[in-house]
Amino acid sequence: MDDMRCLSTRLLSGQKIKGKGDAAAVLEWFHEQGVKTVVLSSTDLGTQEELVVLASSITNGSKEKFNAHIPRLPANFTGTGDLFAALLLAWSHHTNNNLKRSVEATLNTMQAILHRTLARAREEAGPGQPLTVRHLELKLVQSLEDIRSPASKVTASPLLS
């Protein structure tokens, strides 16, 4: 995707997202900077049980926005931002820049990998034992089929302006 940039929202925009209005302002700020596709991947706008993902794209002057809700998992994984960016870029190419389908495929792939990683981490650590960074290394090789063809569980909904 030409102008897609995976960015750290707060570092680049200088804006903290405390609510939906802040998130909308950040999406607009990035568009004003010339970024055509913006995805805020796991904002804290959800609940204790879920995260909210926001996506916005401008193509030929037409804007589309989506949101999706994903489960909040009880672990801190390393490398999820890099994986998210790589998957979004790959799915954007594969779907001819269809934002909704790209975000859904990215989120479904991520969820499968993270759930598998967490399950294996718990097995490796043993009952009642703390999970370490080593346990939580993303299980990418073991998730190859999910990367190639993720199950459709997460759906993105149009976000009204």
Give catalytic residues, as residue numbers.
82
Residue 16 CA to residue 132 CA, distance in Å, equals 30
Query: Is the sign of the CA dihedral 78, 82, 84, 90 positive or negative?
Result: negative
How many CB atoms neighbour CB 104 within 10 A?
Answer: 23
Interacting residues of 117 by C-beta distance below 8 A, sequence separation 6+:
77, 136, 137, 138, 139
> Cα dihedral angle (93, 97, 98, 101), rounded to 10 degrees?
30
Residue 52 CA to residue 97 CA, distance in Å, equals 21
